[in-house]
Amino acid sequence: MKYVTEYRDATLVRGVVDEIRRVVTRPWVLMEICGGQTHSIVRYGLDQILPPLIELVHGPGCPVCVTPLELIDKALLIASQPDVIFCSYGDMLRVPGSDRDLFSVKAAGGQVRVVYSPLDAVEIARQNPDKQVVFFAIGFETTAPPNVMSVLKARALGLKNYSILVSHVRVPPAMHAILGSPDCRVQGFLLAGHVCTVMGYHEYPSLAEKYRVPMAVTGFEPLDMAQGILYTVRMLEEGRVAVENAYPRSVSFEGNPAAQAAIHQVFEDCDRTWRGIGMIPMSGWRLREEFAAFDAEKRFDVGAIQTKESPLCIAGQILVGMKKPHDCSAFGKECTPEHPLGATMVSSEGACAAYYKYGR
């Protein structure tokens, strides 16, 4: 496959890792923001062939993991209502709420449907005018353009039975929170390649400068990851702070202007609570007042919610790179992908799920 096969070429990857080995003279701690990249690293064994001087810590870029418990509980309450068809990306179904998950709502007779694209949820709403169709609009900057387009399409179709439950988060405020913490160990960042595909990387140079931390925009194939690590380590060794682009075939400085325009037409910035981490100021997006009719939180009165987290789970510390999955006493014991205590064990982007699946 073009744009895939050549970026999995083992000889090339080894060559770039050899170059990293040649360049590195001191220990460095790098964080990959994106959970998709965590899985790439562990799946292709990059963590095992990199020089031991380089430590990779895993960031909070797992949308399923950081969706706040209160919103999961709201989703569960809305999905349980008789006239609702609740649509979601598949990853969300097994995420533990305070006392159950969306799978158990489905098993109890609730209409929970997995959709591939939010436009599928709009189509379900069109075909079921007597039902309320709710889409669980979660994610980072990558899923925002698709999610807002579903609202724009529903409005164009004049649908009165479509709404979205929004839990959108943004990468730069989370990096701000991580770098501003007195316990922060991160010295360099691999920036999430597809977030930057949408948003560009113009938001990052000021962040890099403020905290004196170099960054490289990084893709998802093993060769892309090795290249991103090489660029970041080179800057660290040279004492240089910059934002370099190691994924230029997909990412431009400006990003995708059409996608950004649609996001800003429908969403506005807001404070957002991240599961396991807490509230990060202006780190999320919510629907603008103009689109309030499509806001599931306004359409359904679910009352006050009392949330309850597992006392064993340390997902919050894992999500900010303070701890690794093995540091958790429940890892692989009380907590497995079949019976997860925390969202990091569920998602195809969660660090605990990656460690469990690939035997770390």
Partner 1 sequence: MCLGVPGKIVEMYEQGGLQMCKVDFGGVVRETCLAYVPEAKVGDYCIVHVGFALNLLSEEDAKETLDLLKQITDIEAELGPNPSPA
Give the binding site for partner 1 (CB under 8 A): 1-4, 6, 11-12, 14-16, 18-19, 21-22, 24-25, 34-36, 39, 51, 53, 61, 63-64, 89, 91, 116-120, 139-140, 142-143, 145-146, 149, 153, 156-157, 192, 194-195, 197-198, 220, 223, 227, 230, 246, 248-251, 256, 258-259, 262, 348-349
Distances (CA, A) of 217 to 186, 203, 205, 211, 348: 16, 12, 11, 17, 21
Tell me whether residue 70 or residue 349 sits nearer to partner 1 (CB atom).
349
Least Å distance, CB 344 to partner 1, is: 14
Output the CA torsion 243→246→252→258 (10° steps).
Answer: -110
Pairing state of beta strands 162-169 and 132-139? parallel
Least Å distance, CB 26 to partner 1, is: 9
Least Å distance, CB 239 to partner 1, is: 18
Q: 1: exposed, middle or buried (C-beta count within 10 Å: 0-12, 13-18, 19+)?
A: exposed
Tell me whether residue 132 or residue 150 sits nearer to partner 1 (CB atom).
150
Nearest of 179, 242, 250 to residue 218 by alpha carbon:
250
Least Å distance, CB 67 to partner 1, is: 11
Alpha helices in 7-82 (DSSP H): 10-23, 35-43, 46-49, 63-66, 69-79
Least Å distance, CB 151 to partner 1, is: 13
Tell me whether residue 19 or residue 297 sits nearer to partner 1 (CB atom).
19
Tell me whether residue 139 or residue 316 sits nearer to partner 1 (CB atom).
139
Question: What CA–CA distance (Å, rounded) separates 215 from 185?
Answer: 15
Tell me whether residue 122 or residue 328 sits nearer to partner 1 (CB atom).
122
Question: What CA–CA distance (Å, rounded) separates 157 from 217?
Answer: 38
Tell me whether residue 111 or residue 150 sits nearer to partner 1 (CB atom).
150
* 107-118 burial: b if 16+ Cβ within 10 Å, else e: eeebbbbebeeb
Distances (CA, A) of 254 to 200, 260, 262: 4, 10, 15
Least Å distance, CB 303 to partner 1, is: 30
Least Å distance, CB 10 to partner 1, is: 11
Tell me whether residue 89 or residue 356 sits nearer to partner 1 (CB atom).
89
Mark residue 248 as left, alpha or beta (left: phi above 0; alpha: psi -120 to 50; beta: remaining).
alpha
Least Å distance, CB 329 to partner 1, is: 29
Tell me whether residue 200 or residue 328 sits nearer to partner 1 (CB atom).
200
How far is C-alpha 202 from the geometric centre of its chain's CA atoms? Answer: 20
Tell me whether residue 85 or residue 259 sits nearer to partner 1 (CB atom).
259
Inter-helix orientation angle 222-238/10-23, to 10°: 10
Rounded to 5°, the CA angle 342-140-216 comes to 105
- Facing residues of 280 across strands? 272
Question: What CA–CA distance (Å, rounded) separates 82 from 105?
Answer: 11
Least Å distance, CB 59 to partner 1, is: 12
